[in-house]
Amino acid sequence: MNKILSHINSNIAAFFISLIYVAIGTIAVCSIAGRDTLHGEWSLYALILTFPVSIVSFGYRFAETDYLIPVLIIQSVMFVLCYLLLARFIKRNAKQKTEN
């Protein structure tokens, strides 16, 4: 557990960027159906903005509109993947800047 927390602390920017990006996608996917509380035109624009992390959840939600728990599970996995990729990208760019 300490290893995970130290990894997050060393990549705090990647953590918060991923958290906000995936959270916007999650709220948009959970608001896409007409009977949802936050339903509106904004959800389409948010889905387009967060397309890479919300396409799988959108596909599930399009097929099965009644259950949100699987959408939250899918988005949790997407958050972890997004965080790990972004942390690696930031670390690689920082390394390249120090070499130049």
Q: H/E element holding 53?
A: helix 51-63
Name residue 21's amino acid.
Answer: Y
How many of the other CB atoms lie within 10 Å of CB of 85?
Answer: 13
CB within 8 Å of 13: residues ≥ 6 apart? 90
What pLDDT, on a 0 to 100 scale, did the predictor assign at position 100?
A: 67
Q: How far is CA 18 from CA 27, 85, 93, in A?
A: 14, 10, 17
The proportion of the chain whose per-residue pLDDT surpasses 90, expressed as a percent, equals 55
99: left (phi over 0), alpha (psi -120 to 50) or beta: alpha
| pLDDT (tens digit per residue) in 50-66 | 999 999 999 998 888 78
Structural domain spans, the chain: 21-99
| pLDDT (tens digit per residue) in 10-23 | 889 999 999 999 99
Predicted model pTM: 0.86
